[in-house]
Homo-oligomer: A and B are copies of this chain.
Amino acid sequence: MSPSKFALVASLLLASSPIAYGQTFQRLGTCPTFGCVFPPDQADFLAGAYFDVRLEVHAPVNGSEATGNPNPNPNFTFTIAKDGQRGRPTNAATLFGVREPAVETWQFGWYEDLFAQDAKTKSLVNVAGKAYRRVSLNEPGTYTATLTYNNGQKTEARWFVRDIPSRRRAKNVLLFIGDGMTTNMITAARLIAHKSVNGKYQTKMALDSFPILGHQMTHSVDSYITDSANSATALYTGHKSTVNALGVYADSSPDPFDDPKVETIAELFQRYTGGGVGIVSTAFIADATPAAMTAHTRLRALYGQVVNSFLYGQTNWTWTDWKGPDVLFGGGAEQFYPNKNSFQGQDYYKLFAQEGYQVVNNATSLASIDTAKRALGIFSVSNMAKWLDRNVYPANLRGKKSAPNGDGGDALDQPGLKEMTLKGLEVLTKRHRKNGWLMMSEAASIDKMMHVLDYERALGELLELDDTVKAAMQYLEKTGQADDTLVIVTADHGHGFDVAGSVDTKYFDAQSGDRKKRGAVGIYQESGLSQYTVADPSRGADANLVYSSGANFPANWDPRYTLSQGVMQFPDHKEDYRVKKGGPRVPAVNITGFPSGEYFASYVDAPTGILINGTLPVSADQGVHSLTDVPVFSKGPCQELFGGVYGNIDVFYGMAQCLGLSRPGKNGARPPNHGGPPSY
Decide: A197 and B41 in contact? CB cutoff 8 A.
yes
- Choose, from A120-128, A163-171, A211-219, the stretch at the interface: A211-219
Residue A317 at the chain B interface, CB threshold 8 Å? no
Question: Is residue A95 within 8 Å, beta carbon to beta carbon, of the partner chain?
Answer: no
Q: How many copies does the complex hold?
A: 2
Q: Report B-chain residues with C-beta under 8 Å of the C-beta of A198.
A: 30, 40-43, 221-222, 240
A223 at the interface (CB under 8 A from B): yes
Q: Which of A1-9, A287-295, A435-443, A520-528 contacts B (4 or more CB under 8 A)?
A: A520-528
Is the CB of A518 closer than 8 A to any CB of chain B?
yes
Is A529 an interface residue, CB under 8 A from the partner? Answer: yes
CB-CB under 8 A from A477, the residues of chain B are none
Residue in contact with A243 in the complex, picked from B188, B201, B525, CB distance below 8 Å: B525
**Does A256 interact with chain B (Cβ within 8 Å)?**
no
User: How many whole Å from A578's CB to the nearest CB in chain B?
Assistant: 15
Are A518 and B617 closer than 8 Å at their CB atoms? yes
Q: CB-CB < 8 A to A43: which residues of B? A: 198
A115 touches B510 (CB 8 A): yes
Q: How far is the CA of A186 from the CA of B629 in the complex (A)?
A: 8
Expressed in whole angstroms, the minimum distance between the Cβ of A184 and any Cβ of chain B is 4
Taking residues whose C-beta sits less than 8 angstroms from the other chain, chain A's interface range is 35 or more
Looking at the complex, which one of B217, B496, B526, B538 makes contact with A500 (CB distance below 8 Å)? B496
Contact: B615 with A521, CB < 8 Å? Answer: yes
Residues of A171-220 contacting chain B, CB below 8 A: 182-184, 186-188, 190-191, 196-201, 204-205, 207-215, 217, 219-220
Neighbour of A22 across the interface among B25, B184, B529, B616, CB < 8 A: B529
Judged by a CB distance under 8 angstroms, whether A668 is at the interface is: no
Per the bound structure, the CA–CA distance linking A46 and B41 in Å amounts to 54
Determine how close the nearest CB of chain B comes to the CB of A636; give it in whole angstroms: 15
For residue A327, give the distance in angstroms from its CB to the closest CB of chain B. 30
Q: Which residue of B lies closest to A610 (CB)?
A: B615
Asked whether, in the complex, the Cβ of B561 is within 8 Å of the Cβ of A243, the reply is no
Asked if A522 meets B23 with Cβ closer than 8 Å, knowing A113-B504, A184-B496, A496-B499, the reply is yes
Q: Would you call A371 an interface residue if the criterion is a C-beta within 8 Å of the partner chain's C-beta atoms?
A: no
Query: A168: shortest Cβ distance to chain B, in Å?
Result: 25
Are B207 and A614 in contact, with the CB atoms below 8 A? Answer: no
- List the B side residues contacting A484 at CB < 8 Å: none
| Inter-chain contact A629/B224, CB cutoff 8 Å | no
B208 touches A644 (CB 8 A): yes
B616 touches A613 (CB 8 A): no
With a cutoff of 8 Å between Cβ atoms, the chain B residues found around residue A522 in the complex are 23-24
Interface contact B531-A223, CB-CB below 8 Å? no
What residues of B have a CB within 8 angstroms of the CB of A510 in the complex? 115
Chain A 561-573 interface 0/1 with B at a Cβ cutoff of 8 Å (1 = within): 1001111110000
With contacts A183-B629, A615-B521 taken as known, whether A199 is within 8 angstroms of B501 at the C-beta atoms is: no
Q: Are the CB atoms of B200 and A114 closer together than 8 Å?
A: no
Interface positions of A (Cβ within 8 A of B): 18-19, 22-26, 29-30, 40-44, 113-115, 182-184, 186-188, 190-191, 196-201, 204-205, 207-215, 217, 219-227, 240, 242-244, 494-502, 504, 507, 510, 514-515, 518-531, 534, 536, 538, 560-561, 564-569, 575, 610-620, 624-629, 631, 643-645, 647
